[in-house]
A = this chain, B = another copy of it.
Amino acid sequence: LDEAAVADARSRQDRMTKPRGSLGVLEDVSVQLAGLAGACPPPLPEPAAVAVFAGDHGVHAQGVTPWPQEVTAQMVANFLAGGAVVNAFAAQVGAEVCVVDVGVVADLEPTPGLLPRKVRYGTADMTEQPAMTREEAVRAVEVGVETARDLVAAGNRCLVTGDMGIANTTACAALIAAFTGSDPAAVTGRGTGVDDATYAHKIDVVRRALDRHCPDPADPLGVLAAVGGLEHAALAGFLLGAAALRVPVILDGVIAGSAALVAAALEPTAKAAWIAGHRSAEPGHAIALRHLGLRPLVDLELRLGEGTGALLALPLVQSAVRALREVATFDSAGVSEKN
């Protein structure tokens, strides 16, 4: 963060026609974005685009979810037809939706709005072998970096993370356990809503994968290759790419949170560009956010993914910056200050 812009933004917040500190967390957001842009006020974070990275998971074979694997491809078709919640939320806040096939098992028809970037046909079952090779992990990270670059080149001034992949919360749990040292039982959640038996089994699957690979958090790409997902890898790249371009990126739920652990391990300064859009109902998400030092803006028990929670936070971030840009100061408005 640019220190002069940070100081300018703090000073301006204190001179704006409102009690000091009365915008709470949104004052911090506006200061962060000034520091990121190296300018006070920073540009309005619009237009915005949400990139929904889609991939499948070999660990699905272990029965960690009651949803069939083909739902990943079916939901991608639903996104492209405009019928999913991410489309409704994006329409409400004026964001573009871009879908990236980074590893869906099915071959997908070319469709406007779909970026074909398949690195492989789903990951391997991490309880039996590494989810992917190190080279594949790097390629998937690069897909994310390039997606961020292309969306910014197209004029977007705020990026939003999205994801789709049946069984992807199992990979999240393994990643979060590996990077935070938490027990699998603490970071594994019910995802789309599994029953007690499946939940206990899911925790066991995560534990077995970690026992097999003993992922080393000092080697983030190794962790990603062993127990990650292709969309997690792409999201890590997306978070790094946005930060390198000094463009803010709003993180959705536990998938983005676990990808952010990878990205922060690769480049800790990238965090300066990240805003936690919401806190999902998945227990691992809160643990990941605490580890990252990020405070979520929305907390409404969402557990859908797709980018939905982050899209809800977009107007909050935009409002924070707009206030810094447009609100009069006590001097300029002729308003008396307190005695």
Contacts and interface: CB of A to CB of B under 8 A. Distances in A.
Nearest to A281: B24
A323 B281 contact: no
Interface in A310-324: 311-312, 315-316, 318-319, 322-323
A153 interface: no
Contacts of A81: 328, 333
B19 A193 contact: yes
Contact of A83 (B78, B315, B318, B333): B333
Interface of A: 16-26, 65-68, 70-71, 74-75, 77-78, 81-85, 87-89, 91-93, 192-193, 281, 297-304, 308, 311-312, 315-316, 318-319, 322-323, 325-328, 332-336, 338-339
Contacts of A68: 336, 338-339
A327 B88 contact: yes
Q: State the copy count for this chain.
A: 2
Contacts of A92: 315, 318-319, 322
A137 to B, nearest CB: 28
Of A66, A78, A332, A339, most buried by chain B (CB within 10 Å of CB) is A78
Contacts of A312: 315-316, 319
Contacts of A301: 24-25
A212 to B, nearest CB: 27
A25 B316 CA distance: 18
A338 B77 CA distance: 17
Nearest to A25: B300
B300 A89 contact: no
A71 B336 contact: yes
Contacts of A308: 23
A61 to B, nearest CB: 14
Nearest to A191: B19
9 closest A-B pairs by CB: A24-B301, A83-B328, A19-B192, A66-B338, A22-B304, A25-B300, A74-B335, A315-B315, A88-B323
A253 B53 CA distance: 38
Contacts of A24: 281, 300-303
B74 A319 contact: no
Nearest to A326: B88
Contacts of A87: 326-327
A68 B330 CA distance: 13
Given A89-B319, A92-B322, A327 B21 contact: no
